Amino acid sequence: MELKSKLRQFLPKETPKKAPPQRTVPDLRPILGGEEVETPWGPCHVVEQDFPLDHSWGNLQLGEAASVVYPEGLARVGLDELPHFDLARTLFLDTETTGLAGGTGTYAFLVGTGRFVDGRFVVKQFLMRDYNEEVALLYCLEQELRNSQTIVSFNGKTFDIPLLRTRFAMTRMSFLGVEQHSQIDLLHLARRLWRSKLASCSLTSLEENVLGFTRSGDIPGFEIPQRYFLFLQSGNGLLLRDILEHNAYDIISMAVLMGVINARGMYTPADCTCPWEAEALGGIYAGAGRITSALAFLERALCLAQDKEQQVRLLRTAALLHKRHKHYAAAAELWHKLLSLAEDDLMAHEELAKHYEHREKDFAAADQMTRRALAIALRQRSPKVPELEHRLRRITNRRQRVG
């Protein structure tokens, strides 16, 4: 007998292992609607809803986005060209997850999509009723992505897309969401337009302050993971109803918001009725090097602005733009207007001192502005004190040589 066979006699007898009990996946159709869809990887629960284009969403309608033929306004706001855009092949995407921090242990248990189809907006939600349905969910999502060119999300570049990339990689499936699709992240565009106006550019804040839509009884996002875990333990589909509604709200709001942002990007200065939006568009055009347009929007913002802090900021921004492009007289005029609002503005005094010394050669005016700037700097304990003292000595010497 071989040594291995002899030693095996002393091993304890193995008892047959019982197969783990199969979890019963609850039938959610009576509670959530939708249907169970069979895929090559098993079933996935899918809920589909249709909305007409005249469906009201706050002060607006879904048709706001349906009118976007080519999103030139989005490209202007984002300072970027979209290589491909066809509204019929644009997919709105939002995920609900088992955690808010991401990472390999975080699952997207619900993926909501939306697209415009034949004069209506179709919201389709893919739900993972248990962890073993993840591959089926990802398969369904991949089919949606195959019929799309552009993905629209809200913070998707930072959260949703990296998370989905991880989940596809973990299941060894191909993810077409980044490599073959252009992306529009509405959060970044919204911040460009409204970060100065709004305390928060969250989607719910934009709904209330831009779209005129207020959610009623909506589940807070931070409660969603725990609600899903409770569903896994109990199988009670009622726990998911608010989550699907929350996700559908996100998808519809993104569609309407895209139309609004595109419209704002197409504004002329005369179209602006909000000083904050006019100021934001001025900054966007300045960043794109379109100075004439930028100054026109800033001038419009000044006409509309009621807030003194904003007026000061607008005057400073416009003056610096004029100076950068060697419109020195126009810049000096704005610095003087700024001093009529904020007489202790150190920058305005210093810029006017430079203007009078180097361009106007008015050394008396330069001396006066420098002395005022130095007094302000001393009160504010500014690090510019030595520089201003040096400037004052130089101007005094130049006055003596001239006079």
Say which DSSP state 153 is in.
E
Among 246, 265, 284, the domain boundary falls at 265
The sign one gets for the Cα dihedral 52, 58, 60, 65 is negative
What is the reported pTM?
A: 0.88
Residues 83 and 201 in one domain: yes
Confidence at residue 92, expressed as pLDDT on a 0 to 100 scale? 97
What confidence tens digit (pLDDT) does each residue in 132-161 have?
999 999 999 999 999 899 999 999 999 999
Residues 358 and 332 in one domain: no
Residue 229 lies in a domain: yes
Question: Among 145, 50, 27, 149, which residue's Cα sits nearest to residue 90?
Answer: 149
The phi and psi torsions of 329 (rounded to 5 degrees) equal: -65, -40
Q: Work out how many domains the chain is built from and give that number.
A: 3
Residue 316 lies in a domain: yes
What confidence tens digit (pLDDT) does each residue in 12-55 have?
555 544 444 456 788 899 999 999 999 999 999 999 999 999 99
Token output for 269? 């200065």
Q: Specify the 3-state DSSP secondary structure of 171.
A: coil
Q: What is the mean pLDDT of residues 348-362?
A: 95
Q: What is the CATH number of the domain that holds 66?
A: 3.30.420.10
Q: What is the mean pLDDT of residues 395-402?
A: 86
3-state secondary structure labels for all residues of 302-354: HHHCCCHHHHHHHHHHHHHHHHHCCCHHHHHHHHHHHHHHCCCCHHHHHHHHH
Among 305, 338, 371, the domain boundary falls at 338
Quote the CA–CA distance of 20 and 13 in Å, as a whole number. Answer: 21
What are the Cα distances from residue 56, in Å, to 51, 59, 89, 124, 285?
10, 7, 23, 19, 32
pLDDT at 248 over 70: yes
Residues 148 and 195 in one domain: yes
Residue 327 lies in a domain: yes
What confidence tens digit (pLDDT) does each residue in 213-222 have?
999 999 999 9
Residues 203 and 284 in one domain: no
Residues 77 and 183 in one domain: yes
Question: Among 131, 79, 17, which residue's Cα sits nearest to residue 290?
Answer: 79
Q: What is the mean pLDDT of residues 258-269?
A: 94
Residue 93 lies in a domain: yes
Residues 276 and 161 in one domain: no
Residue 77 lies in a domain: yes
Residue 400 lies in a domain: yes
Residues 275 and 206 in one domain: no
Q: What is the CATH number of the domain that holds 289?
A: 1.25.40
Share of the chain above pLDDT 90, in %: 78
Question: Among 33, 59, 48, which residue's Cα sits nearest to residue 253?
Answer: 59
Residue 1 lies in a domain: no
Confidence at residue 17, expressed as pLDDT on a 0 to 100 scale? 46
Residues 131 and 280 in one domain: no
Question: pLDDT higher for 278 or 101?
Answer: 278
Mean pLDDT check: name the lowest of 82-86, 256-260, 329-333: 82-86
Residues 248 and 307 in one domain: no
CB atoms closer than 10 angstroms to residue 330: 16
Among 308, 338, 368, the domain boundary falls at 338
CB atoms closer than 10 angstroms to residue 171: 14
Residues 76 and 220 in one domain: yes
Residue 155 lies in a domain: yes
Is-contact 145 137, C-beta < 8 A?
A: no
Q: Judging by DSSP bridges, how do beta strands 90-97 and 108-117 pair with one another?
A: antiparallel
Confidence at residue 388, expressed as pLDDT on a 0 to 100 scale? 95
Identify the domain containing residue 370 by its residue range.
343-403
Quote the CA–CA distance of 80 and 189 in Å, as a whole number. Answer: 11
Residues 333 and 355 in one domain: no
Residues 249 and 285 in one domain: no
Q: What is the mean pLDDT of residues 247-258?
A: 96
